[in-house]
Amino acid sequence: MAAGRGHFGSRLGFVLAAAGSAVGIGNIWKFPYMTGQNGGAAFLVLYLALTFTIGLSVMLAEFAIGSAAQRNPVGAFARLKGGLWPVVGALGLLAGFVILSFYGVVAGWTIAYVVKALTGALSSNDPEQLGGIFGEFISSPIEPVAYQALFMALTVGVVLGGVHDGIERWCKVLMPALFILLLVLIVRSLTLPGAEEGIAFYLKPDFSLVTAETFNGALAQAFFSLSLGMGAMITYGSYVRKEENLATSAIWVTGLDATVAILAGLLIMPAVFAFGFNPAEGPGLSFVTLPAVFSSMPFGEVFAALFFLLLSIAALTSAVSLLEVVVAYFVDERGFGRKKAATLFGFLIFLVGVPSSLSLGVWSDFTIAGKGFLDLMDFVATNLLLPLGGFFIALFVGWVIYPRAIEEVTNRGEIAFPAARLWGFVLRFVAPIAIAWILISGL
Ligand code: PHE
């Protein structure tokens, strides 16, 4: 282990930190509205299929790269092969930077909703009123930016604490709490009068709704949700002890992430139909639907505040991994101290995120290719950079360093890995071909 680099303290710590990165507002905010916009159950099926084939394989590939190189994404490619490969790491850094810029905006909303829940501002089950509250809030020029700043400051704070005391310690407590609260809320949502229609929309696939765009959306969502394609899992893999079973860890992280996404859909979709919201409503879906669920429960405000608090925390553990990628590069390769790197880049990323927030209000007239700034950032990073990163990571591990990667996954033959051939096949052929085909036809 390179001196001075952090590392995870326990076997569980690594899995929970990686799961903390994966489970975030991607699961609870993005997944339900993507599902709503893309025809419901058919999207869910595609998303799951891509998650457990390409997603799982690329996650293990990232762990193997990180563990073999003990470096940030750029340094890892340089160490293992060099040539043009470090460019893949650099694209990952860029993706991390861009994603965190708008992620911080939406995460700020979740903090704001904790406050709104506590002050009773969300106590309504009228779709129009809740939509109005949300619309007014996100289009204001000041309030959401202030919450975004607060969230980014918290993210910097955790990253300053380092790998073991900062990242690992938080994830261990917060992930289980989120999970339990989700289960409680689902019971309420499923027992709402009129929930059946939502359940059918969510679980009965109609494949006539599937288009090339659905594929692109499902793949992008799988990568985004699993934190893949930009080196977050390379970075976390670089902090892991060699005797860790990487394949089992990858299965756990993928499984947990998919479970939380499925549960989030099971929470939101019945409520969408029960209260007469529009499933294709878009990015506001969770923020307008959930308050209606809470207002139909005893102690609704308390549950609402608690839920948005956990959501903020889930967002925090993901944001930390995004910032950590950038910080690890500047610490490993550019001689920055952790403090300086975290503060400086946390601040720069905040600044780049401000136009994303304003694009929902005062700057909404400014569009490129018909998209506002936030949508554009999201599209470029999530729909293009992540799948592209995944494409190259699969090729790299499948074709360039495969024997070395197997050594890493088996800890030089100490750990059994019966799926070795299948993994190689997916990385060499299935993932690159599928990703290329989906990207090309999606555009
Ligand atoms: N996976 C996180 C989420 O679902 C977002 C994320 C993407 C985090 C890429 C790190 C890297 O919210």
d(CA 225, ligand 1 centre) in Å: 5
Find the 238 Cα to ligand 1 centroid distance in Å. 18
Distance 296 CA to ligand 1 centre (A): 31
Per the model's pLDDT, the better-predicted residue between 196 and 14 turns out to be: 196
Q: Are 292 and 130 in contact (CB under 8 A)?
A: yes
3-class state of residue 291 by DSSP: helix
CA distance 271 to 429: 41
| CA-closest residue to ligand 1 atom 6 | 227
**Atom number in ligand 1 closest to CA 22:** 1
Virtual CA dihedral for 324, 326, 327, 330, nearest 10 degrees?
150
pLDDT value of position 22: 97
Per residue in 26-51, pLDDT (tens digit) is 999 999 999 999 989 999 999 999 99
Confidence band, pLDDT 50/70/90 cuts, at residue 1: very low
Say how many Å lie between the CA of residue 130 and the centre of ligand 1.
Answer: 27
**Ligand 1 atom nearest to CA at 226:** 1
314-345, pLDDT tens digit by residue?
A: 999 999 999 999 999 999 999 999 999 999 99
Q: What is the pLDDT of residue 168?
A: 76
Q: What is the mean pLDDT of the chain?
A: 93
Q: Which of 21, 34, 93, 312 is the pocket-test mutation for ligand 1 (most atoms within 8 Å of CB)?
A: 21
368 SS3 class: strand
pLDDT of residue 73: 97
Residue 261's pLDDT is 96
To test the pocket of ligand 1, the residue of 318, 322, 382 to mutate (highest count of ligand atoms within 8 Å of its CB) is 318
Mean pLDDT lowest among 28-37, 41-50, 176-185, 388-397: 176-185
pTM: 0.94
DSSP code for 337: -
Residues with a CB atom less than 6 Å from ligand 1 = 21-22, 24-27, 99, 224-225, 227, 230, 232, 318, 321-322
CA of 203 to the centre of ligand 1 (A): 25
pLDDT at 13 over 90: no
Ligand 1 center from residue 322 Cα (angstroms): 7
Q: Of the ranges 119-128, 239-248, 393-402, which is most confident? A: 393-402
Mean pLDDT throughout 152-173?
Answer: 82
Distance, CA 26 to ligand 1 centroid (Å)? 6
The residue whose CA is least distant from atom 9 of ligand 1 is 227
> Tens digits of per-residue pLDDT, 285-316?
999 998 998 888 888 888 899 889 989 989 99
What is the rounded distance in angstroms from the CA atom of residue 251 to the CA atom of residue 330? 30
Burial class (CB in 10 A: 0-12, 13-18, 19+), 105: buried
The pLDDT value recorded for residue 3 is 42
Which pLDDT band, with edges at 50, 70 and 90, does 113 fall under? Answer: very high
Q: If you average pLDDT over residues 174-185, what whole number do you get? A: 86
**Is the Cβ–Cβ distance between 386 and 224 less than 8 Å?**
yes
pLDDT at 169 over 90: no
Of residues 172 and 292, the one with the higher pLDDT is: 292
Residue 167 pLDDT exceeds 80: no
Ligand 1 atom index nearest CA of 315: 12
Burial classification of residue 273, based on how many CB atoms lie within 10 Å of its CB (0-12 exposed, 13-18 middle, 19 or more buried): buried
Nearest protein CA to atom 10 of ligand 1, as residue: 227
Are 151 and 104 a contacting pair, CB within 8 Å? yes
Which of 105, 106, 225, 383 has the most ligand 1 atoms within 8 A of CB, as the residue to mutate? 225
Q: What size, in residues, is the chain?
A: 443
Ligand 1 closest atom vs CA 386: 9
Per-residue confidence at 52, pLDDT binned at 50, 70, 90? very high
Q: Say what the pLDDT of residue 344 is.
A: 98
Ligand 1 atom closest to the CA of 31, numbered from 1: 4
User: Which pLDDT score is estimated for 282?
Assistant: 87
State mean pLDDT over 1-23: 78
pLDDT-based confidence at 4, cuts 50/70/90?
A: low
How large a percentage of the chain has pLDDT more than 70?
99
pLDDT at 2 over 50: no
Residues forming beta bridges with residue 368, ordered by sequence position: 371
314 Cα to the center of ligand 1, angstroms:
10
How far away, in angstroms, is 243 Cα from ligand 1 center?
Answer: 26
**Which residue CA neighbors atom 11 of ligand 1 most closely?**
227
Q: Residues with Cβ < 8 Å from 140, sequence gap 6 or more?
A: 361
Query: Any residues with CB less than 8 A from the CB of 272 and at least 6 apart, and which?
Result: 36, 198, 278, 279, 281, 285, 289
Neighbours of 149 (CB within 10 A): 16
Q: Is the pLDDT of residue 398 over 90?
A: yes
